[in-house]
Amino acid sequence: MTNAFFIAALGFAAGLAALLFWALRPARRRRRTAGRSVLGSAPQHLCNMGPIRRSLDPADLRYVAERGGRDLARRLRRERKRIALLYLGSLRSDFEQLLRIARVVALLSPEISGSYEYERLRLSALFRIRFALVKLHFLFGDAAMPQLTSLGEMVTSLAIRMETAMERLGERAGLAAEVALESER
C-alpha cells in the first residue's frame, strides 16, 4: 500500500512538473519578442467595430432571408459569425499588446505601485472572462453585440490610458533632459 501510494505521488509530481515546464516555456519566448514590437501599432479593432456591428444586425439578416431565401441567410449568418470570431481574436491580440505596453510603462515609471499592478491583473482577468463568455455566445448562435461592444470599449479605454501614461513619461523625460542641460551650464 505504501509503495503504491509513493509511486502514484511521484508520478503525479512528475506530471505537475512537466505541466509547469510546458506552461512557462512559451511565456519566456514571448518575453523575448515583446520588447521588439511592443509599441508597433495602435489598436486595430477600432476601424472594424462599425462594420462588424452592422453585419450582425438582425434586420439585415431578415432582409436577406426575405430576398434571397433561408439558405442564403444561413450561409451569410455563418460567414458573418466566422468574421465576428476573427474580430474577437483581433480584440484579444490588441488587448495583449496593450498589456505588454503597460508592463513597459510600469518598468519605466518609478511611481508605479502595487495597486497599478493589481489593477492590470484585475482588468486582465475581467477581459479574459468576458472574452470567453462572448466567444461562447458566438459559437452557440447568439450574436452578443452588447458584450462585444463592451470588450471593444475595454480595449479602447486601456489604449487611452496607455497613451496618457506614455505622454506623461515623455513629458517627464523632457523635463529631466532640460534639467540635466541646465545643470551642465
Looking at the domain assignment, is residue 160 inside a domain?
A: yes
Looking at the domain assignment, is residue 165 inside a domain?
A: yes
Looking at the domain assignment, is residue 10 inside a domain?
A: no
Q: How many CA atoms lie within 13 A of 157 on its CB side?
A: 10
pLDDT of res. 185: 65
Rounded to whole angstroms, the Cα distance separating 64 from 4 reads: 65
User: Residue 97's domain spans which residues?
Assistant: 86-184
Looking at the domain assignment, is residue 132 inside a domain?
A: yes
Note if the pTM is more than 0.85: no
Per-residue pLDDT of the chain (185 residues; tens, 9 = 90+): 688 877 888 888 888 777 766 766 654 444 444 434 444 444 556 667 777 777 777 788 888 889 888 898 889 888 888 888 888 888 888 888 888 888 877 777 766 656 677 777 888 888 899 888 888 888 887 666 777 777 888 888 778 877 777 777 777 777 777 777 777 76
Looking at the domain assignment, is residue 144 inside a domain?
A: yes
pLDDT of res. 37: 42
Look at phi and psi of residue 118 and say left if phi exceeds 0, alpha if psi is from -120 to 50, else beta: alpha
Contacts of 39 (CB under 8 A, 6+ apart): 101, 104
Looking at the domain assignment, is residue 124 inside a domain?
A: yes
Looking at the domain assignment, is residue 106 inside a domain?
A: yes
In this structure, the chain runs to a length of 185
Looking at the domain assignment, is residue 107 inside a domain?
A: yes
> Do residues 160 and 53 touch, judged by C-beta distance below 8 A?
no
